[in-house]
Amino acid sequence: MPKAAIIGNTTWGSTLAALLGDKGVAVKIWTRSRTEAEELNQGKYSYSSTNCIEEALDKADLVIWAVPSQRLRQNVTLAKSYLTDSMLFVSAAKGLEVDTGDRMSQVIGEVISSDLRGQICVLSGPNLAKEIAQGLPAAAVVASENITVAEKVRELIECPHFTLFTSEDVIGVELGGAFKNIVALGAGVMDGLALGDNAKSAFITYGWTELVSLGTVLGANPATFYGLAGLGDLVTTCAGNLSRNHYVGCELAKRRPLSEIRASMPQVAEGVYTSMAAHQLALKLGKELPIVDIIYDILFQDLPVKEAIVAFKKLAAAHYQPSLSILSEFAPREAPIVVKGKPKS
């Protein structure tokens, strides 16, 4: 029987634990406190829990970090001494480390032994944990620089209602999962101000195009941003009521201070940190990202949301369009209509 360790009793972590446990994997969730572990072990779950990280990792075939992005480095450091070359490592966090701008796989790779780095994967896609926990169908992407490693992880995690695809574009899959949260914050502001779906769609289009251009400069395959880990995740996060980032945007539109909103939430809205990291990356690269700047200014420069909307309208009125010439060969093209097996001209 394969064994899995889930580092982090987050909503996503416990959902993945249940998914794996239900398919026959022996799962242990690592929690920070004994009390938390004991409470979990009293429930009727298909997994068990421990606050001893050595116990959680003992003889594990699969190690999944499902922790907030800003705590990943700390949690990988705690696990480092117990990691072996028989393990596969998966980041299930969607974000960028603020201090460094690093992606999550980079953080893991910087902490663990160099001879283990080839076993790192990332998991991302349109995955609202609550829906998956209810058994509703979903799909995601497992990415690794070694496609064989990605396939092994896919086989361990995939189940009938959770379909996984593999990719070698680790950069694109990670950035897609991180960047969509920035756009979701803005989409939430649009909904909070009741500006309608037309305005929200315009904002999403401008914002995503801008972030795809940044991701391309950072080394991602542009096509990845139009797949499950990009566009798929973007749609879910901007449209669903279950999105934490969309919720933060809605609350900002009500003039609630960010500190108050965050204090009232039991979970982390990753888009807040990712907006800061993306803003810093753009400055470092000398790249202009007006939409990202607007979100950043709302979050950290006290820009009133109504002034932000005025700024966005001015951009749109000026027919603003990020430079995407690099994407021309990757841009989605209209597929031919097929009738009875033959293309219709």
Q: Which residue has the tokens 């932000």?
A: 308
**pLDDT, tens digit only, all 345 positions of the chain:** 899 999 999 999 999 999 999 999 999 999 999 999 999 999 889 999 999 999 999 999 999 999 999 999 999 999 999 999 999 999 999 999 999 999 999 999 999 999 999 999 999 999 999 999 999 999 999 999 999 999 999 999 999 999 999 999 999 999 999 999 999 999 999 999 999 999 999 999 999 999 999 999 999 999 999 999 999 999 999 986 889 999 999 999 999 999 999 999 988 899 999 999 999 999 999 999 999 999 999 999 999 999 999 999 998 888 787 765 444 444 443 333 333 343 333
Cα–Cα dist 170/120, whole Å? 10
Catalytic member of 3, 28, 94, 180: 180
Looking at residue 334, what DSSP letter applies?
A: P
Phi and psi of 199, rounded to 5°? -65, -40
Spell out a b/e string for 292-303, using b for 16 or more CB atoms within 10 Å of the CB, else e. Answer: bbbbbbbbeeeb
Q: How far apart are CA 239 and CA 241, in angstroms?
A: 7
Q: Is-catalytic flag, 180?
A: yes
How many CB atoms within 10 Å of residue 288? 13
- The CA distance from 206 to 240, in Å, is 19
Q: What tens digit of pLDDT does each residue of 57-101 get?
A: 999 999 999 999 999 999 999 999 999 999 999 999 999 999 999
Cα 283 from Cα 212, distance rounded (Å):
16
User: Which domains does the chain show, CATH number per domain?
Assistant: 3-168 (3.40.50.720), 174-327 (1.10.1040.10)
Distance (Å) of CA 268 to CA 122, 201, 282, 322: 19, 25, 23, 30
The two three-digit tokens of residue 243, written as one number: 């999105």
Angle between helices 170-192 and 104-111 (to 10 degrees): 130
- Fill in the DSSP letter of residue 61: S
Model-level pTM?
0.90
Q: Tell me the C-alpha to C-alpha distance, in Å, between residue 254 and each of 8, 190, 277.
A: 32, 11, 25
Angle at 261 between CA 257 and CA 264, to 5 degrees: 140
Contact yes or no for 233/176 (Cβ under 8 A): yes
Rounded Cα–Cα distance for residues 175 and 94 (Å): 8
194: tokens are 């009741």
Nearest Cα residue to 123 out of 38, 9, 233: 233
Instruction: Give the span between the Cα atoms of 8 and 50, in whole angstroms.
Output: 11
